């Protein structure tokens, strides 16, 4: 059974710091891995999608890496800003199971001015 | 604006009521999903539809009844709910063979069952 774990559960950093959020999954047979951002009481916004054949994706100050063999992904945020404060979720699409995404519980990030 | 619109945004209902949640996507996607997000728990997949056909029912109680009349619209009909069903219900859509496409979510419908 695929399980997705995100560490840490919560993180507080001062503005300007570079930071790394971690995601691990137990079964390497995945289609892709996606990172999302969720603001309180809101829906999820897709940040980056990494296909199983890719190693990393970049968008602005965000960089996500994928190491399928070890079951790990990291989301790197450069020069953090207070507007980055949100919950960050990772999810994997399970191979051959019809679009089933398995989510981690998320990392709640707070960037202090 | 993600191209996925959910209504209503907030809903309060008693245990004997019947209500429906609506989702519409303007992205031309072929797959649509219902997820449940409860406090302090990971998102749980409820239903998956691909080209209007249900491909996944993740052991959801029958008091939740999905309907997908076309690839752009998805409903979740609610009947005789329990207080523990109170949660944020999220609709999503995606494109691509074997569900490899990026997932786009709506803002969610916050349901409170009294």
Q: Are B74 and B17 in contact (CB under 8 A)?
A: no
**CA-wise closest residue to B23 among B81, B61, B76:** B76
Output the CA–CA distances (angstroms, integers) from residue A78 to A35, A36, A75, B60, in the order listed.
16, 16, 10, 40
Are A98 and B43 within 8 A, CB to CB?
no
Give me the mean pLDDT over the A65-92 stretch. Answer: 96
pLDDT of amino acid A96: 66
pLDDT of amino acid A98: 58
Q: Does A40 touch chain B (CB under 8 A)?
A: no
Question: What residues form DSSP beta bridges with A14?
Answer: A112
Rounded CA-CA distance A7/A14 in Å is 19
Are A99 and B106 within 8 A, CB to CB?
no
**What percent of chain A stands above pLDDT 70?**
96
Rounded CA-CA distance A101/A95 in Å is 10
Q: Are B110 and B19 in contact (CB under 8 A)?
A: no
Q: Residue B11 is inside which H or E element, if any?
A: strand B10-13
Give me the mean pLDDT over the A39-61 stretch. Answer: 93
Name the pLDDT band for B17 (thresholds 50, 70, 90).
confident
Name the pLDDT band for B40 (thresholds 50, 70, 90).
confident
Give the nearest chain B residue to A108 (CA atoms).
B40
Q: Are A51 and B100 in contact (CB under 8 A)?
A: yes
**CA-wise closest residue to B58 among A29, A97, A104, A95:** A97
Rounded CA-CA distance A8/B94 in Å is 29
Question: What residues form DSSP beta bridges with A89?
Answer: A36
Write out chain A residues lying below 8 Å of B31, CB-based: 99
Supply the DSSP symbol for B103.
P
Rounded CA-CA distance A40/B84 in Å is 20
Rounded CA-CA distance A79/A69 in Å is 29
Question: What residues form DSSP beta bridges with B105?
Answer: B92
Residue with tokens 């969610």: B108
Give the nearest chain A residue to B5 (CA atoms).
A43
Give me the mean pLDDT over the B81-91 stretch. Answer: 95
Give me the mean pLDDT over the A40-44 stretch. Answer: 88
């Amino acid at each position: 059974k695929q399980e997705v774990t995100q560490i840490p559960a919560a993180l507080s950093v001062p503005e300007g710091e570079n930071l790394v959020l971690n995601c691990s999954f137990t079964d390497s047979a995945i289609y892709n891995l996606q990172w999302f951002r969720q603001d309180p009481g809101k829906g999820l916004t897709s940040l980056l999608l990494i296909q199983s054949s890719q190693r990393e994706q970049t968008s602005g100050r965000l960089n996500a890496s994928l190491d399928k063999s070890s079951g790990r992904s990291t989301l790197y945020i450069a020069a953090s800003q207070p507007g980055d404060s949100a919950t960050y979720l990772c999810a994997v699409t399970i191979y051959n199971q019809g679009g089933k995404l398995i989510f981690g519980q998320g990392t709640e990030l707070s960037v202090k001015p | 604006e993600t191209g996925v619109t959910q209504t209503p945004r907030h809903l309060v209902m008693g245990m004997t009521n019947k209500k429906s949640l609506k989702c519409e996507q303007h992205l031309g996607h072929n797959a649509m999903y219902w997820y449940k997000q409860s406090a302090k728990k990971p998102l749980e997949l409820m239903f998956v539809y691909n080209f209007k056909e249900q491909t996944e029912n993740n052991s959801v109680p029958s008091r939740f009844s999905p309907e997908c009349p076309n690839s752009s619209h998805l409903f979740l009909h609610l009947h005789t709910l329990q207080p523990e069903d109170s949660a944020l219900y999220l609709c999503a859509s995606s494109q691509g063979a074997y569900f490899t496409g990026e997932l786009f979510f709506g803002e969610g419908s916050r349901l409170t069952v009294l």
